[in-house]
Amino acid sequence: MKKVDILIIGQGIAGTVLSHQLIQKGYSVFVIDHKKVNSASRIAAGVYNPIAYRKLKRAEFVEFLLPSMQDYYGKLQKELNVSFFKPSSFLKLLTDIEELNNWQIQCAKESNTSYMSKTIFTSNFNHGIKNEIGAGQVLNSGVVKIPTLIEAWQKRLIESHRFSSGPFNYSDLEFHTDGIHYSDMCYEKVIFTEGVGVSKNPWFNWLPIQKFKGEVLEIHAPNLELDRMINRGVFLLPLGNGYFKVGATHDWRKVDEVITTEGRLELTDKLDKFINVPYTVVKHEAGLRPAARDRHPYIGVHPENNRLFVFNGLGSKGVIMAPWLVTKFIEGLDSFEWPPEFDIKRYIRFFNDSNTGHEKN
């Protein structure tokens, strides 16, 4: 039986970055993914942004997440010879005088100068965009085209016989003294990166994952010229040739992946507040973000089986989080030591309750 170090279940952004970094570090790896068309990674806009828009403050952990991801994706796109990483600056349309004042206070702080520009665009800087109060510039932001990255890396995995397309059957895992057997291979470790699919995982379904529904639109607005993303309640992201992505809704009450009229109207109502050119909606998608209860992703080892691991709960921050967190995760693979704010040990009570039949609360 062929021996392999690590089996990874799921190749969204998590499984992609994880398998890539493991191979870089010399591990042998095999990946299984059933290519769900509307997985979070496949419908995400892939935007990263160092500012929390609601409070106009620096996002948590950004001082180390940002340099790590910029370095990682920059090198990876060279290695794969595909273009998926687009560093840029974004425009944040300010909605009222209070928000404008807040922007001016925040951008004057030393700790925010790398992320918020002091220049406010006050005129109508762009045909088609209504700019009533002013627009601040968010620096050091950008986009990772996640589907392009996933496809390019999957091609490499396939070429090196490290990928299988199809569903992973949890009940076919066999535990032996020499390792874990699955489909004629023997693995040292299995790492689950299934996004919201973790709720079907018999070893990790006790983790409190919130399925955070998001809907996005693609529009065609041939008269709108925009060279970078703009945000005012929703983002408007240029895709080229007059096409734009608009998103996203956040709905924690619904846990389905169905597109809704309500979601579409929410997005177009917000969009109509800041664009004044005609457009048509050409695509509408819905998906589920795998979010952790405290908004810090979940990494760690199973409490009773030290060959089984999980990496999940990236929430709305898959792009910016994955590279740094994967590095930390791999560092702890043998010692089982991870930063406590991400280690699943913090929710061990849910595992204990699941064994005694208590509900998550």
Ligand X SMILES: Cc1cc2nc3c(=O)[nH]c(=O)nc-3n(C[C@H](O)[C@H](O)[C@H](O)COP(=O)(O)OP(=O)(O)OC[C@H]3O[C@@H](n4cnc5c(N)ncnc54)[C@H](O)[C@@H]3O)c2cc1C
Q: How far apart are CA 95 and CA 284, in angstroms?
A: 26
Please choose, from the candidates 317, 313, 257, 316, the residue with its C-alpha nearest in 3D space to the C-alpha of residue 290: 313
- Total site size for ligand X, rule CB under 6 A: 44
* The amino acid at 164: S
Q: What is the 3-state secondary structure (H, E, C) of 148-167?
A: HHHHHHHHHHHHCCCEEECC
CB of 122 to ligand X, least distance (A): 28
Rule CB under 6 A: which of 29-68 touch ligand X? Answer: 32-36, 39-41, 43-48
CB of 249 to ligand X, least distance (A): 7
Q: How far apart are CA 338 and CA 296, in angstroms?
A: 13
Q: How far apart are CA 93 and CA 6, in angstroms?
A: 46
Tokens of 106: 């925040």
C-beta of 40 vs 344, nearer to ligand X: 40
Rg (CA), the chain: 21
Site string for ligand X, 311-340 (x = CB under 6 A): -x-xxxxxxx--------------------
The sign of the torsion formed by the CA atoms of 192, 197, 202, 207 equals positive
Residue 231 touching ligand X (CB under 6 A): no
C-beta of 134 vs 142, nearer to ligand X: 142
3-state SS assignment for residue 16:
helix
* The amino acid at 193: T
Q: How far apart are CA 311 and CA 343, in angstroms?
A: 10
CB of 268 to ligand X, least distance (A): 16
Of 7, 15, 65, 92, the residue at the interface with ligand X (CB under 6 A) is: 15
Of 134, 136, 142, 214, the residue at the interface with ligand X (CB under 6 A) is: 214
The sign of the torsion formed by the CA atoms of 154, 188, 22, 38 equals positive
C-beta of 131 vs 144, nearer to ligand X: 144
Residue 229 touching ligand X (CB under 6 A): no
C-beta of 290 vs 323, nearer to ligand X: 290
C-beta of 212 vs 274, nearer to ligand X: 212
CB of 13 to ligand X, least distance (A): 4
Site string for ligand X, 244-283 (x = CB under 6 A): ---xx-----------------------------------
C-beta of 48 vs 324, nearer to ligand X: 48
CB 31 within 8 A of CB 15: yes
Q: How far apart are CA 217 and CA 215, in angstroms?
A: 7
φ and ψ of 171, to 5 deg: -75, -10
Residue 142 touching ligand X (CB under 6 A): no
Which region among 116-124, 195-203, 268-276, 301-309 touches ligand X (by CB under 6 A)?
195-203
Give Dmax over CA atoms of the chain in angstroms.
Answer: 70
Residue 112 touching ligand X (CB under 6 A): no
Which region among 127-135, 225-233, 284-292, 348-356 touches ligand X (by CB under 6 A)?
284-292
Residue 91 touching ligand X (CB under 6 A): no
- Report how far Cα 212 is from the mean position of its chain's Cα atoms: 12
The sign of the torsion formed by the CA atoms of 314, 317, 318, 322 equals negative
Of 4, 6, 8, 13, the residue at the interface with ligand X (CB under 6 A) is: 13
Q: Which spans of this chain sit near ligand X (rule: CB under 6 A)?
A: 9-15, 32-36, 39-41, 43-48, 167-168, 193-197, 214, 216, 247-248, 287-290, 312, 314-320
